[in-house]
Structure 1
Amino acid sequence: MEISFGYFWTGITGSPVLAVTILLTLGVIFVNGWTDAPNAIATCVATRCLRARTAIWMSAFFNFLGVFVMTQINSSVASTISNMVDFGNQTHEALIGLCAALLSIVIYSVGASCFGIPTSESHSLIAGLSGAAIAIHHGVEGINGAEWIKVIYGLVLSLALGFATGWIICRLITVLFRNMERSRANRFFGGAQIVGAAAMSFMHGAQDGQKFIGVLFLGIAFYNGSSSVSGMEIPVWLMLLCSIVMAMGTSVGGEKIIKSVGMDMVKLDRYQGFSADLAGALCLLYSSLFGIPVSTTHTKTSAIMGVGAVKRLSAINFNIVKEMMLTWVFTFPGCGLISFIMAKLFMVIL
């Protein structure tokens, strides 16, 4: 079954709960583009290959392409997110749970971004959906363990593979280009890093865009009286809607996050920045093709740490790393708890 835009618009105008769900989802996509997408261009700005504003607009464009192109090639990440929880057969309660999950992401992400700390909207989304499902079922019956295990795989993959790939690529570059004149190397890797940042932005859209398309699909399915998205096809207009909203969020900025990731954590040369971008993009491509939802923040920052470790471990500012790790550790219980409370509250009020 393919959902037409006319059916979608009729649902929004006829169901206040669905309208709120859609608006919150688009708000989360916007926040993701604002707070998460700057990670993709942080190293490019830090090494002065591009000015911050130019890099942000470039990232917005390639985020748009990433959502649109990858969803048509392989939409398995969207399916994983959609099937991760079961909100039950009462579609009204299911929409309420979805609203609670989305609101918890906005509250948590905006709060963290005020301190310039990168957030993982991917894990916020997963935690929010899980917290709402637990609230509706009064237990863990609504959690799909088979799909949830992919989140654990993604957590390990984004950290371990990102670090290892960053280290290997950077090490190879130092060997292959060791005899190149420094000024020439800077010019070469300056251009290469712009390409790497574009690839990172594309893959950010491919990963995170699909996750939120999965959430939008859930909302439409609940309105349609279905408890799952089985048999529904992702329409082109929905891909365009999500990609445009994410691009708009990216264009707003994110200078604090660019500074935290690209400048404060590790002091990078241009060849190192290119290594981190290429490593992050490759890890996200692999994850997207195999339907594993990963955090673009985890992937990029672990790649940067791998690159920094090529010189020496002391090149990494572990105070910044510690702040990020604490934020990630608190994401699951923090967002999950906010979503649980919101779901219980909404079920009483609505």
Structure 2
Amino acid sequence: MAKSPYTKPVLDKDLDKIGMMESAAQFVMTRAATPALALIFIVCAASAAISMSAGSAGMLFIAVAAVMAAYMAMNIGANDVTNNVGAAVGARAISLRNALILAAVCEIAGAFLAGDRVVATIKDGIIGASLTPDPDMLIIIMVSALFAAAAWINIATWLNAPVSTTHSIVGGIMGAGAAIAGVQAVNWRQLLEISAGWLLSPIIGGLIAVSFLWLIQTAILYATDRLEAAMRWVPMLLAVMSGSFVSYLLLIGVDGAVGLRTWQAIAAGPVVSVICYFPFRRVVARQADRLDRKDPSIKLLFRTPLVFSAALLSFAHGANDVSNAIGPLFAVVEASGIQSVTANQDAPFWVMALGAFGISVGLLLFGPRLIRIVGSQITKLNPIRAFCVAMSAALTVIVASALGLPVSSTHIAVGSVFGVGLFREWHVAHSTQRRIYIEAKALKGDKKAARELIAARAASEETTQSVDNNYRYLVRRSYLLSILAAWVVTAPMSGALAAGIAAALQRLIQ
């Protein structure tokens, strides 16, 4: 029996509606499960704090500080950690799910293995216990700073604005300290040193990223035999990354059981780079054999090192920024008079675990929301540009962590992205090497003829106008202004909010 053209496919439409309802229900359940899981983690943090401080007079304060630290750690994961993997995801070198898993594992490893060096700066460097002889005052300052910083970061994440978690916590401690103990309690010299790191880190990050991009373009992309040049240079870049990673681990061990001097730890990096170069060369050679030799896609060779650099950056971030969550908590634990902590200046294991796992929980639950801000909305990234960004950010954070200076990974990552984008603008408009390469490719590799053609065109006014008209803006200036505004506002907002909270708590306790 022939089907009437006027008959509506009722069953198909009903099935489609049922499928849409199931998808909607699953979406709603997922959105509801995310805050529920976050609440479970906060409850676990409070339970762990109570069990570890049972019998202490400051058990209640420690529990409250642990809740605030867990809240802060999750917000760090939601807002700040996305900068570590945003470039790799934006360049499509790794999927979002795999990037989240990779970052979570590396963040935990970095916090546990290397987080203690920077904790002391946050704990004592801004408002030291010696400047606030009353332990209750120090506890109020740290709890207020944690709550204010976490609340501001939560608001910024909701507004899709990547801000500095270090800005937030330092501003919170400064504001609460000034409100409770007076402006004389703030270590202004330490604050100026930290502020210098905030100012220098994006500049250094941008310069390093531009240097790597210039090297790759000059040595590989514009070479006569791009594949041969890539097989020679990519293993070197991987080896440099490996050496930097090993030097950082050894620098962490300078105060520990390794027993090496600082110059020995740094000198070990080049040695490791030389050793790693040979296995990396074999790996890259195998990958290069799969490419088309006539027109090789060199970008594919940078996917693996880009993932490696993202892991390195996440490790460094875990070592550097875990202090933003657990530094104030550690100060509260010490001020509460637990002898096992004051006798040993290393942060207790449960405190480190709270910060490490809190960052990863926040990343997995809330991180995907901001990953695309740095990865794709400032400037277009491919695997090569993303590699330069991640490599630059990793090296800058590693140096800062080795020095015990809490810098902002957000500033470094964003500075690197803007540096790459601005360099591309200049390079496209003014690079003679790029024009020679393009013309030589059209002339079947004849660079001499390409140079002559470019010289002839440069003599005409039409060429000058053409070059000016071809100048393109490859960086969104609006993002630059909005991000700079967020950076400027973060510390004052956190400080003002922390000052208000601290004043209210002081009146409540008294």
Answer 1 or 2: higher relative contact order, Cα 8 Å, separation at least 6: 1
The runs of 5 or more residues in structure 2 that have no matched partner are: 1-47, 228-294, 427-472
TM-superposed deviation, 1:6:
9.3
TM-score norm. by structure 1 comes to 0.91
In the alignment, is residue 249 of structure 1 matched against residue 362 of structure 2?
yes
The equivalent residue for 2:506 is 347
Q: Which deviations, in whole Å up to 9, do the C-alpha atoms of 1:128-157 show, x marking residues without a partner?
A: 0011100112x3111112322221221122
In the alignment, is residue 115 of structure 1 matched against residue 150 of structure 2?
no
TM-superposed deviation, 1:231:
5.7
The equivalent residue for 1:338 is 497
Measured in 2, the distance between the counterparts of 1:310 and 1:11 equals 60
**Superposition CA RMSD, Å:** 2.3
Task: Tell me: CA distance 1:266–1:288, structure 2 relative to 1, closer, same or farther (3 Å).
Answer: same
The runs of 5 or more residues in structure 1 that have no matched partner are: none
Q: Which deviations, in whole Å up to 9, do the C-alpha atoms of 1:207-260 show, x marking residues without a partner?
A: 10134332221011111189x979622344433332122111111132331121
In the alignment, is residue 78 of structure 1 matched against residue 149 of structure 2?
no
Does the CA-based 8 Å contact 2:378-2:476 persist in structure 1? yes
Given candidates 215, 218, 222, the residue that maps to 1:172 is: 215
Aligned residues: 342
Task: Tell me: CA distance 1:95–1:323, structure 2 relative to 1, closer, same or farther (3 Å).
Answer: same
TM-superposed deviation, 1:183:
4.5
Equivalent position amino acid for 1:299 in 2: I
The equivalent residue for 2:480 is 321
Greater CA drift, 271-280 or 149-158: 149-158
Measured in 1, the distance between the counterparts of 2:350 and 2:69 equals 16
The equivalent residue for 2:282 is none
Equivalent position amino acid for 2:122 in 1: I
Task: Tell me: CA distance 1:92–1:304, structure 2 relative to 1, closer, same or farther (3 Å).
Answer: same
Does the CA-based 8 Å contact 2:73-2:325 persist in structure 1? yes
Does the CA-based 8 Å contact 1:78-1:212 persist in structure 2? no
**Where do 1:291-310 residues align within 5 Å?**
291-310=404-423
Task: Tell me: CA distance 1:232–1:55, structure 2 relative to 1, closer, same or farther (3 Å).
Answer: same
In the alignment, is residue 98 of structure 1 matched against residue 142 of structure 2?
yes
SS in 2 for 1:312: helix
Measured in 2, the distance between the counterparts of 1:241 and 1:341 equals 27
SS in 2 for 1:50: coil
In the alignment, is residue 312 of structure 1 matched against residue 312 of structure 2?
no
SS in 2 for 1:192: helix
Given candidates 292, 302, 323, the residue that maps to 1:210 is: 323
Measured in 2, the distance between the counterparts of 1:230 and 1:339 equals 30
User: Which has the greater radius of gyration?
Assistant: 2
Measured in 2, the distance between the counterparts of 1:92 and 1:46 equals 47
Task: Tell me: CA distance 1:109–1:96, structure 2 relative to 1, closer, same or farther (3 Å).
Answer: same
Measured in 1, the distance between the counterparts of 2:476 and 2:297 equals 29
TM-superposed deviation, 1:11:
6.1
Does the CA-based 8 Å contact 2:56-2:336 persist in structure 1? no
Measured in 2, the distance between the counterparts of 1:183 and 1:59 equals 30
Task: Tell me: CA distance 1:51–1:13, structure 2 relative to 1, closer, same or farther (3 Å).
Answer: farther
Equivalent position amino acid for 2:479 in 1: I
Paired-residue identity, %: 24
Greater CA drift, 251-260 or 56-65: 251-260
TM-superposed deviation, 1:196:
1.3
In the alignment, is residue 132 of structure 1 matched against residue 291 of structure 2?
no
